[in-house]
Amino acid sequence: MSAPGAVLDAVFDALANERRREIVTLLAHRPMTTPEVGAHFGFTKQALNRHVGLLEDAGIVSRTLHGRMHDLALVPERLDGVSLWVAELRGGWADFNRLEGVLHARND
């Protein structure tokens, strides 16, 4: 198992590209074949495979081969680390906001 920081790095690297985020958004609605995904973007087969490959390497997308057809599906659990990281940040912001409120109340 990868270290949590390495997982976050891989996920953020894969999601750094707008088109890959759009692919994730499509797959969040339902699994799709590579031609279905490609039809949304007009990608060449090579470009689509590169984008999907990066998402797959990060563990965000799974690919299942059925004959010559590739089925793609989102692996939402892979995004859990991002959700936890954001939740931790929000907790810190909430603590800061409470402290700010106390300081303002003392100065009034």
Residues in the chain where the model's pLDDT stays below 70: 1-4, 91-108
What residue ranges define each of the domains in the chain, with the CATH number in brackets? 4-107 (1.10.10.10)
Quote the pLDDT of residue 88.
Answer: 80
Query: What pLDDT score was predicted for residue 102?
Result: 55
Q: pTM surpassing 0.85?
A: no
Nearest to 72 by CA among 11, 29, 18, 17: 29
Write down the number of H helices and E strands in the chain.
Answer: 5, 3
Buried b (16+ CB within 10 A) or exposed e, 41-58: eebeeeebbebbebbbeb
